[in-house]
Structure 1
């Protein structure tokens, strides 16, 4: 990966957050490319991951966290809820030991660097999902697309076996990197 994963994650969260700030009052129930998710559910999902990140990067196990962050995390001010959660996640990921710590996820233990890469990839793909849902500019940062595509080329089989991603979509040769990345995650760009 050509960019530090912590920096990639921060930038992806910044891009997602910029879109959260663009969500109009009537768009929270708009469908997204994520099966069965509207905009509110999608943003809630990212907030949940943001809130879990400091816990997991500090050594707590997913089993210990349990359902602590289940339910509606957006409250009456979804933008404020997102901003606060993103700040905490970025601080945790930027920590001195974040890359070398062991994170105890529901499917097993992984190095912090791998967990941050997973968070980065998830929020980057969901940035496109949110942009598509609210009619915003769907272009993703090309450097982040490249970093995610490189990382996902090694992780794709594990994600598909765990049924975390949709079935990949076919793309013709010569397709641009963003379309290839989205297709590998089951999105039709």
Structure 2
């Protein structure tokens, strides 16, 4: 699966979950034990706001604290929509995935950064939907693509705190279940 197609599907996964958030859900817990629904959505919104800056070649130091804090204001759905729109537009610019980007840990291929963002949208879309008691709806093709990106990195990710320890799942489980388990969630 092509990165831009996967990213578009991952945006849709998160967007569908966002449309299920009710007025009383914002303080609800999520599978990310330290985050409420609002915290999780803010995390994703902030990540999306970074995309145009990163793809434009700016460093973390140049962007600074521009996106720190709560970026949801009084209208989290609109904040998500605006952030996801600018991020998606940045990814769809000609040559965006062929660039070198400057991340907190050093220079990287924009395509690698794109897969990281796709992974986060997919998994946190699952987290959000699960917190709301909704079907996460991760398409099989997307789950397989993200799994093929993240599996080779699983050992390196272990112990970093980015994800909880893997949860064992059957080897013949669907790709979405294997992905979620690999990233420390109980399917």
TM (norm. structure 1) is 0.94
Q: Tell whether 2:124 aligns with 1:126.
A: yes
Contact 2:17-2:136 at 8 Å conserved across structures: no
Contact 2:171-2:178 at 8 Å conserved across structures: no
Change (3 A) 1:162 1:103: farther
Contact 2:101-2:107 at 8 Å conserved across structures: yes
CA–CA distance in structure 1, aligned partners of residues 159 and 30 of structure 2: 23
Residue 4 of structure 1 deviates from its aligned partner by: 1.2
2:24 is paired with a residue of what secondary structure? helix
Contact 2:98-2:109 at 8 Å conserved across structures: yes
CA–CA distance in structure 2, aligned partners of residues 179 and 20 of structure 1: 21
2:39 is paired with a residue of what secondary structure? helix
CA–CA distance in structure 2, aligned partners of residues 107 and 174 of structure 1: 35
**Number of matched residues?**
187
RMSD across aligned positions (CA): 1.2
Residue 139 of structure 1 deviates from its aligned partner by: 3.2
1:152-187 CA-to-partner distances (Å, cap 9, x unmatched) read 112223322533111111123322221111110000
CA–CA distance in structure 2, aligned partners of residues 115 and 21 of structure 1: 26
CA–CA distance in structure 1, aligned partners of residues 115 and 156 of structure 2: 14
2:96 is paired with a residue of what secondary structure? coil
1:112-169 CA-to-partner distances (Å, cap 9, x unmatched) read 0000000000110001100000111133111110100111112223322533111111
CA–CA distance in structure 2, aligned partners of residues 61 and 97 of structure 1: 19
Match of 2:182 in 1: 184
The partner residue of 2:71 within 45, 56, 73 is 73
2:46 is paired with a residue of what secondary structure? helix
Structure 1 unpaired stretches of 5+: none
CA–CA distance in structure 1, aligned partners of residues 76 and 44 of structure 2: 12
TM (norm. structure 2) is 0.95
